Amino acid sequence: MDKIKAFGHKSPDTDSTLAPIVYSWYQKQLGVEVIPHVLGEPNKEALFVLGKFKVDKPEILTDINPNDEIVILDTSNPDELPEGINKAEILEIVDHHKLAGGLSTPAPIKITVRPVACTMTILYELVERDGLLDKLPNDIAGLMLAAILSDTLLFTSPTTTDRDKEVSERLEKITGIDMKELAEEMFDAKSDLTGMSASMILLSDSKIYELACKKVRVAVLETTKPENALNMKEELLEAMVKLKDNEDLEMMFFFVVDILKSESTLLVSNEEEKEIAAAAFNKEFKEEILLLPGVISRKKQMVPNIERAID
């Protein structure tokens, strides 16, 4: 029989790249063999973390076969998963996002969705529940800590809960790693745009939503050096127009998030988007740019505000 495959969402970020590895370690302790996968090339931050803890990059999953047994992590949204996902045999979902609907299974499955900032916080709770904390190896604990730091932007994101902080502190003790130092190294890795085209930048952390019946892409670049991206403004705007055309999108919003200042700069490429964004955040544009102090979370701030404005 084929082995169980675990993976996160498309355009894998640090959580979606590393959670399958941690989940596979966890299942191995329970006597179940699970192979970690990713649905695309991980971002630079995730690759940095894999290198730092000397862990192999999960294999890239290209397609899903109808009888594959799969575990879905860090999403439950079919738009962020391969086509044909409902034909596979979904065994389990572990996630920390809102329920988008659309997945269906012929029989009951295990679903763990908790309102925390990162899949790893939930995986830690499952490992703890099953009495496996003593067995947690340093590298696996390090991956968990790194993903929480990434999803919470070192606890500055409004998605952060007390639970994420508590778990991080325990992981810091287990690994002996200074989490501020680790976060700094990760954010530096993520801010390096060398070798990336405008469209790669737009797609590296990017999700498509159906907002008030409109197909909208909300792309984010978390960085400590926003000027690296903003210097490419013209190319980025051009690439946004092309992407909307290719993907039949009605709108696209690109937020360059300054991790250190906890603010974002929003780029949009037409008048309609400008109006929506100005209404969403109650601010005026200067050129094609809108500066948004305090706006750093796609899930809690960007998407709900845009959705309200479109509506």
- Pick the stretch among 8-16, 39-47, 106-114, 127-135 that binds Mn ion (CB under 5 A): 8-16
Contacts of 15 (CB under 8 A, 6+ apart): 8, 74, 118, 119, 120, 147, 150, 151
Stretch that binds Mn ion, among 72-80, 101-109, 166-174, 222-230 (CB under 5 A): 72-80
Which lies closer to Mn ion via its Cβ, residue 209 or residue 281?
A: 209
Which H/E stretch holds residue 121? helix 119-129
Binders of Mn ion among residues 12 to 51 (CB under 5 A) are: 15
Neighbours of 87 (CB within 10 A): 12
Distances (CA, A) of 115 to 11, 146, 163, 165: 22, 19, 10, 14
Compare residues 15 and 68 and give the one whose CB is closer to Mn ion. 15
Stretch 95-154 residues interacting with Mn ion (CB under 5 A): 151
Residue nearest to Mn ion (CB): 15
What is the end-to-end Cα distance of the chain in Å, rounded?
Answer: 49
Work out how close the CB of 2 gets to Mn ion at its nearest, in angstroms, rounded to a whole number: 27
Are 222 and 153 spatial neighbours (Cβ–Cβ below 8 Å)? yes
Q: What minimum distance in Å lies between the beta carbon of 150 and Mn ion?
A: 8
Closest CB to Mn ion among residues 151, 307 = 151
What is the closest distance, in whole angstroms, from the C-beta atom of residue 257 to Mn ion in the complex? 15
Place of tokens 């309609």: 272
Q: Are 81 and 8 in contact (CB under 8 A)?
A: no
- Closest approach of Cβ 149 to Mn ion, in Å? 12
If one asks whether residue 74 binds Mn ion (CB under 5 A), the answer comes out as yes
Near Mn ion by CB under 5 A, which window of 7-15, 87-95, 203-211, 302-310? 7-15
- Whichever of 15 and 164 has its CB closer to Mn ion, that residue is 15
Q: Tokens 């019946």, residue?
A: 213
CA-CA distance, 290 to 301, in Å (whole number)?
A: 15
Number of residues that bind Mn ion (CB under 5 A): 3
Question: To which residue do tokens 């959705």 refer?
Answer: 307
CB of 120 to Mn ion, least distance (A): 8
C-alpha–C-alpha distance, residues 81 and 75, integer Å: 8
- List residues near Mn ion by CB under 5 A: 15, 74, 151
